Chains A and B, each alone.
Chain A
Amino acid sequence: MKKLLVLLFSLVLGIALTGCGGSQEKEQPKQAGESGGDVIKIGAIYNVTGAQASLDGPSLNGFKLAAKEINAAGGVNGKKIEVVSIDGKTDQTSSTNAASKLVDVEKVSAIAGFSDSNYALAAGPIAQTAGVPFITSGATLPSMPEQVGDFFFMAAFGDDAQAYAAADYAVDALQAKKAYVLKDTAMDFTMNLAAFFEERFKSKNGDSAILLEDTFKTGDQDFSAQITRLKALKEKPDVLFISSGPSDCGPIVKQLRDAGVNIPVVSGDGFDTPLLIELGGKGAEVDTYFATHTCLNSDGEKVKKFVDDYKAEYNKEPENAFAALGYDTMHLIADAIKRADSADPKAIREALLQTNNFAAVTGSITYADGKRVPKKSVSILKVQDGKFSLIKEVTP
């Protein structure tokens, strides 16, 4: 028994160490053939397993695709990009271990990763302490760069930007005077989004412009109570702001429309999921608008090229905007390295900070006035004929 056990563990450790040896072998010829520092190492931490995988998996695919394209075009300043990717496992301890490994062992020049602030806030400070730029491709909590420090950048817009854009669209294009807000209280993202929307909407239409603020929790199946309260309102709202995540948006819209509520629905990038059309059915076709990072169906040259390249590489359409955000993040880093003409993390940070009108798939990126939340265009999308179509792009 004991022998069997010892055998078993030595086997496991053996495999692990072989894996270790394998990776070293992989690196050695490169260093020998290209005389050392001709490779720029960029770290990537994405939660490719666990609850975050549906967002982080596409992000990593996009990130790697961009690195491959850059290398195929001759690299950056004559050097090849090597992506060192570690799985964060949707766990804070694993994510910080990964960040520490990238900084201390792999000595990367910059780190990218994550679509959720829980993990970005855990891993970011390690890069900050080591003086390595950390760019989160998909997390949208706008206070993060302030919370972590001057080496922390966001590639996506903040929740405030998308909520403001949604509110502006409701007021200007939909001519809304009164709004109803339904928010998911189980998520930080949906709570923030609703708060920012209300702030903007009230500032335009007065303090009494929000007729009712109702709540639900992620995973609720039945929204009839909320719909009854909405219908019982004395004054009819002109717009419904539904602050929900990807899993609930379909059922909510379907149940609203089934109950005969045809008031326009507006939301944020939580709606940017094929589930909206799959579960929302015909209901989603009726006046459903949302603000998000980009429209992958649009005719823009950059978007088209990205979608085609992604299809060629992975044999599938990009799953969502997070794939494009991962792709943009790699190009953003490469652009900064090119301008810095150096793989030194501090020089890269300085160059990142100077980023001005960088043309990305998800809109142009500018870090204005030393802020590390990008000034970036927001796309307003509408559901039409079973697809998302671009209404307009706004820069708040």
Chain B
Amino acid sequence: MMNLQKKKLYTLLALVALFVILFICNMLLSPYHMRIINLVGINIALVVSLNLTNGFCGVFSLGHAGFMAVGAYVAAILSLPLVKKAIILPELPKWLGSVELSFLPSLIIGGLVAAICALIIGYPVLRLRGHYLAVATLGFLVVIQVVITQLQDFTRGARGINGLTQYTNTWWVWIFTCITIYVVWRIINSAYGRGMMAIREDDLAAEAMGVNLTKYRLLAFCVGAFFAGIGGALWAHLITVVTPLSFSYDRTFSLVVMSVIGGMSSITGGVVGASLMTLVPELLRNLEVGITVGGISIPPLYGISQIVLSVVLIIVIIVRPKGIVGSREFSWNLFKKKKWNTMNQMEN
């Protein structure tokens, strides 16, 4: 066992190393590669926050994309430059039409509004369990989509808000990712976290031990929604356009897949799942170019990347039903015992 101070030092060093590497990448790599690195960061934050609700607290939510949508739209409306706002959203109420916030407050307000939405729908919905809860949160996603499509004055409906300033860069993304991981890690290692895990294992027993079910579930749900909101806002300011279609079932399910593949009740699992599921599809794109081998030309096989990915996912789930990492966590102790194939994470 290492002592606590040594671990803290290692963690700090790893963090410094991460940002030095990012800094070097930022100088050397093309904008395309940096875009992928930023997407990895955003997805890590989204999946880790999803793991807090789905994995640690056992509240299986399919509404994550809905919270992303709320955060993204709120931040987009707040941060849009006034000149553009007058053209794109002329019907906004005056108090909103004359506001232009900088990026940080927009992000935080976006996250807060998402958390408030989670509070409002969470209170009635979190009494449900299992499948019922999953379907109810999916219902929330549908409601959000309809509201965004119909609220023309605020969101421009299906046309979407475009021309957002591309504020999102490596630093915003990765600082946010580290904060998300730190907060989730602190929560699960606190009395609240233990309570959440108790609820996941057996809610009756947990209640008998004095754990307030609704309160703990709401906390996990709202914290997850807060980070989803900020993640959505960061995504929006990376892509520079938000449409209702940006936050569809596809996105919710791709996040759930990332979470399941990595390991639902583990922060490390979230990091591993999100990184793999963002990087591998981009790498697999190279399969889709036509190749000429020895005079035989193979035409581009579009869709092959999705097929390969699906097959790999099926195999992973058969071989490791609890995800790649399972419910284990990365720890510096791993280096002492034996060389564990680190997926190089610096937490804990």
- Pick out which of these stretches binds chain A: B91-99, B101-109, B213-221, B298-306: B298-306
Measured between C-beta atoms, what is the minimum distance from B23 to chain A in Å? 19
Is residue B315 contacting chain A, with contact meaning CB distance below 8 A?
A: yes
A8 to B314 CA separation, bound complex (whole angstroms) = 12
Are B303 and A49 closer than 8 Å at their CB atoms? yes
Give the residues in chain A near B285, CB-CB below 8 Å.
86-87, 101
- Pick out which of these stretches binds chain B: A116-124, A225-233, A270-278: A116-124
Give the residues in chain A near B160, CB-CB below 8 Å.
118, 121
Are A125 and B284 closer than 8 Å at their CB atoms? no
Is residue B240 contacting chain A, with contact meaning CB distance below 8 A?
A: yes
Are A17 and B286 closer than 8 Å at their CB atoms? yes
- Pick out which of these stretches binds chain B: A90-98, A258-266, A386-394: A90-98
Is residue B282 contacting chain A, with contact meaning CB distance below 8 A?
A: yes
Mark A112-133 against chain B: 1 for CB-CB distance below 8 A, else 0: 0000011001100100010000
Query: Which of these, A85, A93, A129, contacts B239 with CB under 8 Å?
Result: A93
Identify the closest chain B residue to A188 (Cβ). B158
Identify the closest chain A residue to B297 (Cβ). A26
Is residue B3 contacting chain A, with contact meaning CB distance below 8 A?
A: no
A5 to B31 CA separation, bound complex (whole angstroms) = 32
Name the residue in B39, B163, B286 with the highest tally of chain A Cβ atoms < 10 Å from its Cβ: B286
Is residue A36 contacting chain B, with contact meaning CB distance below 8 A?
A: no
Give the residues in chain A near B81, CB-CB below 8 Å.
none
- Pick out which of these stretches binds chain A: B45-53, B123-131, B203-211, B287-295: B287-295
Is residue B30 contacting chain A, with contact meaning CB distance below 8 A?
A: yes
Interface size on A, residues (CB 8 A): 48
Interface residues of A in 39-53 (CB under 8 A from B): 48-49
A216 to B300 CA separation, bound complex (whole angstroms) = 39
Measured between C-beta atoms, what is the minimum distance from B229 to chain A in Å? 18
Interface residues of B in 235-294 (CB under 8 A from A): 235, 239-241, 243, 245-246, 250, 276, 280-293
A279 to B306 CA separation, bound complex (whole angstroms) = 32
Give the residues in chain A near B239, CB-CB below 8 Å.
92-93, 96, 122
A203 to B140 CA separation, bound complex (whole angstroms) = 42
Query: Which of these, B282, B284, B289, B305, contacts A97 with CB under 8 Å?
Result: B282
Are A13 and B243 closer than 8 Å at their CB atoms? no
Is residue A77 contacting chain B, with contact meaning CB distance below 8 A?
A: no
Measured between C-beta atoms, what is the minimum distance from A20 to chain B in Å? 4
Measured between C-beta atoms, what is the minimum distance from A274 to chain B in Å? 23
Give the residues in chain A near B283, CB-CB below 8 Å.
13, 16-17, 20
- Pick out which of these stretches binds chain A: B176-184, B186-194, B316-324: B316-324
A264 to B262 CA separation, bound complex (whole angstroms) = 58
A89 to B285 CA separation, bound complex (whole angstroms) = 11
Give the residues in chain B near A312, CB-CB below 8 Å.
none
**Given A8-B315, A17-B283, A188 contacting B159 (CB threshold 8 A):** yes
Measured between C-beta atoms, what is the minimum distance from A175 to chain B in Å? 34
Additional pairs, 7, CB under 8 Å, beyond known A87-B285, A92-B241: A4-B319, A12-B280, A17-B283, A22-B289, A26-B292, A92-B239, A148-B162
A selection of 11 A-B contacts at a CB cut-off of 8 Å is A6-B341, A12-B308, A49-B303, A104-B30, A105-B30, A121-B160, A121-B243, A125-B240, A125-B241, A143-B159, A186-B149
- Residues on B lying within 8 angstroms of A by beta carbon are 30-33, 35-36, 39, 88, 149, 157-160, 162-163, 166, 235, 239-241, 243, 245-246, 250, 276, 280-293, 300, 302-303, 305-306, 308, 312, 315-316, 319-320, 324, 341
